[in-house]
Amino acid sequence: KINTDVDTDIITLPRFILENQKMHLNAKGDFSQVLNALQFAFKFISQTIRKAELINLIGITGDMNSTGDQQKKLDVLGDEIFINAMKSSGIIKCVVSEEQEDLIILEGNDSKYAVCCDPIDGSSNLDAGVSVGTIVSIFKMMPDSTGACTDVLRHGWEMCGACYAMYGASTHLMLTMGDGIDGFTLDNNLGEFILTYPNLKIPDHRAIYSINEGNTYYWTPEIKSFIQSLKEPQEDGSDPYVARYVGSMVADVHRTFLYGGLFSYPGDSKHPDGKLRLLYEAFPMAMLMEQAGGLAVDDKGRRILDLKPNHIHDKTSIWIGSTNEVNKYLNHIKK
Ligand code: AHM
Ligand code: MG
């Protein structure tokens, strides 16, 4: 024996998908095709971001392409990569992207799935090398639909799956198909996502809060007094909360999944519905959070997954994280 430390029986994402498909007797492998297209997009975007950072720093290709155009911005590239990957799935008919004003209908594809995404969330952080991510919600198309906004303007609980990829020190993928959540880490040498957090559960409490406090002036008195209460010794005698805010939802929520805590982007007097998008930021994160044992509500305490957008780019306020922490907010607004 040469090296006994190598695990030769790892669970890759394709293996995970196949095993999952076998467990569902009637599965025809359609959803596997969707996941396959998604994981390709995540790998491609991950590589592109890492390459782009190097290009920015040492300019290996210069900043003009052969036609003299300025190099494309990463959010535009991410958007193109994502849409093309969905096109190649053959069964995703509709795509909503944060970068595209209208719903995209993919000609030639079967009318089976609709996917909504923020291709590069947190892109204002890119130039500083801070983690960004891709967030995705997945719906089955409405019966007999050939592709329309009504395929995605639905309640959050109607999603059949959700996931996000986070491009940090490593690339992580968190996935739910409505039966818990599983986390994967990209092995760059193998080019495969490896199952690293099977059936992940969020800790039910943790004294961490994550919010842009620069907006305090514009918050309602309830939100001001709630956040202030977290910064004081707690009723049970425990210490004040710790603050953590990256400014990339994916990174802030990813930390929340692993350590527990509370993330929020509330509404304020300038933006009554907050900043985050319902369809492709709040919905997928809320589904993942509930599947991990946590909660997600809006400023009024309504369950995020019970909301229904009127327009594909609608925004919502959000409070998401460990049950005890979200409940603390809910109890505060009841008072
Ligand atoms: P983006 O989709 O344009 O990148 O904006 C969304 C991002 C989230 O990732 C993050 O939670 C939020 O904006 C941060 O906003 P702010 O800078 O106002 O705190
Ligand atoms: Mg975003």
Tell me the pLDDT tens digit for each residue of 189-240: 999 999 999 999 999 999 999 999 999 999 999 999 999 999 999 999 999 9
Burial of 324 by CB count in 10 Å (0-12 exposed, 13-18 middle, 19+ buried)? middle
Nearest CA to ligand 1 atom 14: 247
Can you spell out the DSSP letters for 106-118? -TTS-S-EEEEEE
Widest CA span of the chain, in angstroms? 67
ipTM of predicted complex: 0.96
The pLDDT value recorded for residue 21 is 83
- Compute CA 335 distance to the chain's CA centroid, rounded to the nearest angstrom: 32
The pLDDT value recorded for residue 197 is 97
The tokens for 13 are: 């994402």
Cα 3 from Cα 140, distance rounded (Å):
46
Burial of 26 by CB count in 10 Å (0-12 exposed, 13-18 middle, 19+ buried)? exposed
Query: What digits encode the pLDDT tens for the residues 300-316?
Result: 999 999 999 999 999 99
- Compute CA 201 distance to the chain's CA centroid, rounded to the nearest angstrom: 16
Does residue 98 register a pLDDT over 80?
yes
Q: Per-residue b/e over 261-289, b at no fewer than 16 CB within 10 Å?
A: bbbbbbbbeeeebbbbbbbbbbbbbbbbb
Distance 5 CA to ligand 1 centre (A): 41
Question: Considering every ligand atom, which ligand is closest to the CA of 320?
Answer: 1
pLDDT level of residue 2 (50, 70, 90 thresholds): low
Q: Which of 275, 315, 316 to mutate to test the pocket of ligand 1 (most atoms within 8 A of CB)?
A: 275
Does residue 62 register a pLDDT over 60?
no
Ion ligand 2 neighbours (CB, 5 A) are: 118, 121
The pLDDT value recorded for residue 67 is 45
Beta bridge partners of 164: 135, 174
Cα 87 from Cα 274, distance rounded (Å):
32
Question: What is the rounded average pLDDT for all residues in the chain?
Answer: 92
Do 313 and 98 form a contact (C-beta atoms < 8 A)? yes
Nearest CA to ligand 1 atom 7: 122
Nearest CA to ligand 1 atom 17: 247
Distance 99 CA to ligand 2 centre (A): 10
Question: Considering every ligand atom, which ligand is closest to the CA of 250?
Answer: 1
If you count DSSP H runs as helices and E runs as strands, how many of each does the chain have, helices first? 7, 15
pLDDT level of residue 124 (50, 70, 90 thresholds): confident
The tokens for 181 are: 């959540």
State the residue for tokens 């979200």: 326
- Compute CA 260 distance to the chain's CA centroid, rounded to the nearest angstrom: 16
Angle between helices 30-58 and 74-88 (to 10 degrees): 160
Distance 76 CA to ligand 1 centre (A): 17
Cα 36 from Cα 38, distance rounded (Å):
5
Q: Per-residue b/e over 39-75, b at no fewer than 16 CB within 10 Å?
A: bbbbbbbbbbbeebeeeeeeeeeeeeeeeeeeeeebb
The pLDDT value recorded for residue 69 is 47
Do 185 and 11 form a contact (C-beta atoms < 8 A)? no
The pLDDT value recorded for residue 66 is 43
The pLDDT value recorded for residue 52 is 81
Pocket, ligand 1, Cβ cutoff 6 A: 98, 118, 121-124, 212, 247-249, 265, 275
Q: Which atom of ligand 1 is nearest to the CA of 122?
A: 4
pLDDT level of residue 143 (50, 70, 90 thresholds): very high
Does residue 324 register a pLDDT over 80?
yes
Mean predicted confidence (pLDDT) in 122-135: 90
The pLDDT value recorded for residue 68 is 45
Cα 333 from Cα 327, distance rounded (Å):
10
Q: Which of 96, 130, 265, 277 to mutate to test the pocket of ligand 1 (most atoms within 8 A of CB)?
A: 265
Question: Considering every ligand atom, which ligand is closest to the CA of 318?
Answer: 1
Query: Considering only 70-84, 91-105, 239-253, which range has the smallest mean pLDDT?
Result: 70-84
The pLDDT value recorded for residue 58 is 55
pLDDT level of residue 127 (50, 70, 90 thresholds): confident
- Compute CA 15 distance to the chain's CA centroid, rounded to the nearest angstrom: 23
Q: How many CA atoms lie within 13 A of 27 on its CB side?
A: 16
Does residue 165 register a pLDDT over 50?
yes
Query: What digits encode the pLDDT tens for the residues 263-305?
Result: 999 999 999 999 999 999 999 999 999 999 999 999 999 999 9
Torsion-angle region of 258 (φ positive above 0: left; ψ -120 to 50: alpha; else: beta): alpha
Residue scoring higher pLDDT (151 or 29): 151
The tokens for 301 are: 């305490």
What letter would DSSP give residue 201? -
